[in-house]
Amino acid sequence: MITETSPVILLAGPTASGKTALAVRLAKALNGEIINADSMQIYADLEILSARPGKAEQGGIAHHLFGTVDAAERASTGWWAAAAMEQIDAIRGRGRRPIIVGGTGLYFNALVKGLAAMPEISDRTRQSADDIEAQGAEALREQAMAFDPEATGRIKPADLQRLRRVVEIGLETGQPISAFQARTTPLLPECGWTGLVIELERQWLYQRIEARFDTMMDQGALDEVRTLAERGLDRTLPAMKALGVPPLMAFLAGTMDRETAIVQAKQDTRRYAKRQMTWFRNQMPGWKRLAGSPAPISDEDVISLLRTTGITNRPAEREAEE
């Protein structure tokens, strides 16, 4: 029986690492339901390019916060955290286990480290940040250092997303982001969650990324981007910057040939996966590592995983063994 004290399962991993399949296996073994923690799978317009799990992949398990936000909106980390906590309470209320799966490190941090009440970023500030970022990574880091040397010193030079956030907060408020981050409280208590990270051999992951993008193209990724482009949305919106969207839009606009666009999309995805792995290594050092190639998704592996991590739900575990 799942109770309010049963730990939430947090399953993180880089893109294309097999998170969906493993999450479904865990949900079946633990009488669970799945909550999305991928910042692009939230958007309704990106079913193919975000690799949102289809009905067959969901394996009969209830999935939440997938494809619920329109591309014209900005789904902030704060919005996601509030929505995820609502789902956690609802799932527990049904006597089931919440399993949160995704690759967006900021989402997981919001749950286990806390989320500062950050100010809204205006369009004017976003444009200013765009102008700075367009000058290159070094210019972005220099500006971040000027606003908040303490926070910037903890950020890897290649982590442009976090550097940009420091700059945006500085431009908007004139205050360092660390001043806001100091006022945080974890949303989940320390004993209320168990963290797992899929950590795979890099070359195998890169091969999987490239093969998956080819499959996405076969499934209609270009038509998906064409439909998005026809809406004429602000190019700074998160959905408009999703992996694969910018190069495919460039191809549709006639400024890039098809093969170059595909190569660029694959390269962008590999680089993103590398950043994700760096984030998980630095930000989640105490989480249980699931190493290997491919991800452990056999029934035997799942049962072994449950035992070695101390995650138990005895009736469900017996069912899985049978």
What is the structure's pLDDT at 313? 56
pLDDT at 193 over 50: yes
What is the structure's pLDDT at 322? 32
What is the structure's pLDDT at 4? 55
Window from 90-104, 245-259, 297-311 with minimum mean pLDDT: 297-311
In sequence order, which residues have a C-beta less than 8 Å from that of residue 171 and are 6 or more positions away? 125, 128, 129, 147
Domains (range + CATH), the chain: 8-115+184-321 (3.40.50.300), 123-181 (1.10.20.140)
What is the structure's pLDDT at 182? 78
Do residues 213 and 244 lie in contact, with contact meaning Cβ atoms separated by under 8 Å?
yes
Smallest CA-to-CA distance from 51 within 88, 8, 11, 14 is with 14
pLDDT digits (tens, 9 = 90+) for 152-167: 998 988 888 889 999 9
What is the structure's pLDDT at 319? 33
Average pLDDT, integer, range 23-27: 93
Window from 20-24, 242-246, 256-260 with minimum mean pLDDT: 20-24
Report the alpha-carbon distance of residue 36 to residue 32 in Å, rounded. 13
HEC per residue, the chain = CCCCCCCEEEEECCCCCCHHHHHHHHHHHHCEEEEECCCCCCECCCCCCCCCCCHHHHCCCCEECCCCECCCCCCCHHHHHHHHHHHHHHHHHCCCEEEEEECCHHHHHHHHCCCCCCCCCCHHHHHHHHHHHCCCHHHHHHHHHHHCHHHHHCCCCCCHHHHHHHHHHHHHHCCCHHHHHCCCCCCCCHHHEEEEEEEECHHHHHHHHHHHHHHHHHHCHHHHHHHHHCCCCCCCCHHHHCCCHHHHHHHHCCCCCHHHHHHHHHHHHHHHHHHHHHHHHHHCCCCEEEEECCCCCCHHHHHHHHHHHCCCCHHHHHHHHC
pLDDT digits (tens, 9 = 90+) for 59-103: 999 999 999 999 999 999 989 999 999 999 999 999 999 999 999
User: What percent of the chain has pLDDT above 90?
Assistant: 76
Smallest CA-to-CA distance from 50 within 90, 104, 121 is with 104
What is the structure's pLDDT at 1? 43
pLDDT at 316 over 60: no
For the chain, the straight-line distance linking the first and the last C-alpha, in angstroms and rounded, comes to 19
Q: Over the chain, what is the mean pLDDT? A: 90
Average pLDDT, integer, range 292-299: 60
Measured from the Cβ of residue 80, the count of other Cβ atoms closer than 10 Å reads 25
Confidence of residue 311 (pLDDT cuts 50, 70, 90): confident
pLDDT at 126 over 70: yes
What is the structure's pLDDT at 305? 72
pLDDT at 29 over 70: yes
Average pLDDT, integer, range 5-10: 85
What is the structure's pLDDT at 116? 76
What is the structure's pLDDT at 180? 83
What is the structure's pLDDT at 154? 87
In sequence order, which residues have a C-beta less than 8 Å from that of residue 243 and are 6 or more positions away? 15, 40, 49, 265, 268, 269, 272
**pTM for the predicted model, two decimal places:** 0.81
Which of the pair, 67 or 300, is modelled with greater confidence?
A: 67
Average pLDDT, integer, range 295-313: 66
Q: Residue 263's Cα: distance from chain center in Å?
A: 23
Which of the pair, 300 or 206, is modelled with greater confidence?
A: 206
Average pLDDT, integer, range 203-231: 97
What is the structure's pLDDT at 252? 98
Confidence of residue 119 (pLDDT cuts 50, 70, 90): confident
* Token pair recorded at residue 315: 């009736």
Confidence of residue 115 (pLDDT cuts 50, 70, 90): confident
What is the structure's pLDDT at 107? 96
* Token pair recorded at residue 128: 């200013």
User: What percent of the chain has pLDDT above 70?
Assistant: 91
